[in-house]
Amino acid sequence: SKKYFGTLFNWPLFSSSALLYFLLGFYIANYLRKLPPLWLTGIICVISVGAMFFGGLYTNGYFAVRDIEYHSYVISTSSPLCVVEAVSLFLCAMQVEQRLQEMPPTVSHCIREISGASLGVYLFHILVINWMGKRNWGNASQFWGEHMGVRAIAVYLVTLIVVVTCRHILMQIKKVFTNRRLDRVA
């Protein structure tokens, strides 16, 4: 029963996965002296992403004939696979940071746009999933339902385009109001 173990794990790292990730990132950034090779952290990241993807499909009955209730543990932020993925991705980013700073301005601009839209993609991807799921795509519906990877990429790209477009529109509106306010002050 959960009530018997509640007091055993009643300390911050078990009650807040955000705190776990923050402290883990702080420890790695400040106390890890020798980083593992980039190829190793990349392979670990890809393996953990794949394990989460296929584990999530398996535990939620994608490969089964019968209906199974939804289980999110394998793909949740409290999953050990997610922690391993986050650590390996953080180590990869630490190792390529210098190379990223040396990139041409257009590439770094694209990276900034995509990373700046990540919160918006996270917030609005469910709306895009629901919108795209309600549409009748004709013959593409069967393909859409059978290929989850293509579906995930399509949802991400559509959401990214919408978020980046809305961000640019909001920045233009902000400029208009800021310029009007500065004209009044002057």
The predicted-structure confidence for 166-178, as pLDDT tens digits, reads as follows 999 999 999 888 8
pLDDT digits (tens, 9 = 90+) for 37-66: 999 999 999 999 999 999 888 888 777 776
Answer yes or no: do 157 and 98 share one domain: no
Answer yes or no: do 93 and 109 share one domain: no
Q: How far is 183 from 186, CA to CA, in rounded Å?
A: 5
Answer yes or no: do 119 and 93 share one domain: no
Answer yes or no: do 115 and 34 share one domain: no
- Quick one: 172 exposed, middle or buried, by C-beta within 10 A (0-12, 13-18, 19+)? exposed
Which of 68, 84, 102 is the endpoint of a domain? 102
- Domain holding 149, by residue range, is 103-186
Name 67's Cβ contacts closer than 8 Å, sequence gap at least 6. Answer: 61
Answer yes or no: do 98 and 150 share one domain: no
Identify the CA nearest to 34 among candidates 91, 119, 72: 91
Q: Number of folded domains in the chain?
A: 2
Which of 44, 77, 102 is the endpoint of a domain? 102
| Full-model pTM | 0.62
Name 160's Cβ contacts closer than 8 Å, sequence gap at least 6. Answer: 114, 117, 121
